[in-house]
Amino acid sequence: MGADWFRSLARRRRSPATVSTYTTPLRHLGRWLEEQGVTHPQALTRHHLQEWQDSLAGKVGPKSQSIYATAVRGLMRWGGREERVQPGLADWLEVPEVPEHEPLVLEPAQLRAVVGRYQYPQGDLAYFRDRALLWFLLTSSARISEALRLDVADVDRHRWVVVQKGGSQKALVISALARAWLQQYLRVRGRDQEPALWIYVGPVIGRRRLTATDANAIWRRVCRELGIPKFTNRWLRGTGATELNELEATPIDVAHHLGHRNLATVLKYAKLREGRRQALVDRLDQLIPAASAPPISPVPRRRRARL
């Protein structure tokens, strides 16, 4: 049943990343049902689904529990329509709330250090590739999976339309400097038979399409060299959104750039840094007329009484 549902997702143009994410929950449910002696989808009941969800507690985190529930609920909804399972089973799956976390972004000092390392053209092909990829990810706020699916043949386009998570399309737009660094990288790379835009360069393996794991390894190495806290591909997406926010882009601008329709989703990526908050709060002082504002003097320190 799962294979048919995955084909249904493909027809609905869900991204390969979404399909891959849903694979683990379905395998987990399948193994659990086998242990319970449930060998046919029609024998599945709401009690089985509820017990399966209860079994996840303490074994996987809240975010994974939410993904598991979302995946299986989608399968049950499809299975009910196709008469593969009892109708209405999807309604008995609870999607837990995931605790909110601070957006993952590079702080200004980290960003300055990384940008300083790539400010001037120098080094080998890997250097030019890393520099171009860094600014491509930061200015486009693209997911790493979206960027790595691009081919060299796509470079001449003014923008790139990619299928993002969830199956909808999004246009990637990069800055003028990012495009210039991308062209420098391709000139240093020269002509080869690899169609991928972003490639792994190794003395033994040769050239192949770069992976997200490869890219994260690049940033870890840079962080070790600079002596700064490590970051991953995901941080660059959030950093781009945060910098746009601090340049006073509207929430609609940032949401559209990220590829989100819901403005609330922007809060997961764009962070209001402390410096920005302080600047905004200081503007409130303008509410007090200058003539009536008392001078700001340091608070006198209290003297200790002598014994």
The DSSP secondary-structure symbol of 191 reads -
* Single-letter code of the amino acid located at 131: R
- Pair 74, 127 in one domain: no
Q: Could you report the per-residue pLDDT of 205-238, keeping only the tens digit for each? A: 678 999 999 999 999 999 999 999 999 999 998 8
CA separation for the pair 58, 251 (Å, rounded): 37
Q: Could you report the per-residue pLDDT of 97-145, keeping only the tens digit for each? A: 877 677 788 998 999 999 999 988 888 999 999 999 999 898 888 889 8
Q: What is this structure's pTM?
A: 0.66
Domain-located, residue 36 = yes
> What's the number of domains the chain is made of?
2
CA separation for the pair 171, 150 (Å, rounded): 12
Domain-located, residue 279 = no
- Pair 226, 150 in one domain: yes
Question: Which whole number is the average pLDDT over 271-298?
Answer: 62
User: What does each C-alpha distance from 95 to 63, 65, 70, 129, 252 come to in angstroms?
Assistant: 10, 8, 6, 41, 28
Residue ranges of the alpha helices (H) in the chain? Answer: 2-11, 16-35, 46-56, 62-81, 108-117, 125-140, 144-148, 176-189, 212-226, 233-246, 251-258, 274-283
- Pair 57, 122 in one domain: no
Q: Could you report the per-residue pLDDT of 68-91, keeping only the tens digit for each? A: 999 999 999 999 999 999 999 999
Q: What is the CATH number of the domain that holds 59?
A: 1.10.150.130
Looking at residue 2, its pLDDT comes to 76
Both tokens of residue 281? 């709060």
Tell me, letter by letter, the H, E, C secondary structure of 131-144: HHHHHHHHHHCCCH
Q: Could you report the per-residue pLDDT of 158-198, keeping only the tens digit for each? A: 667 766 665 567 778 888 888 889 999 999 999 888 999 99
Q: What is the CATH number of the domain that holds 261?
A: 1.10.443.10
Contact 112, 39 (CB under 8 A): no
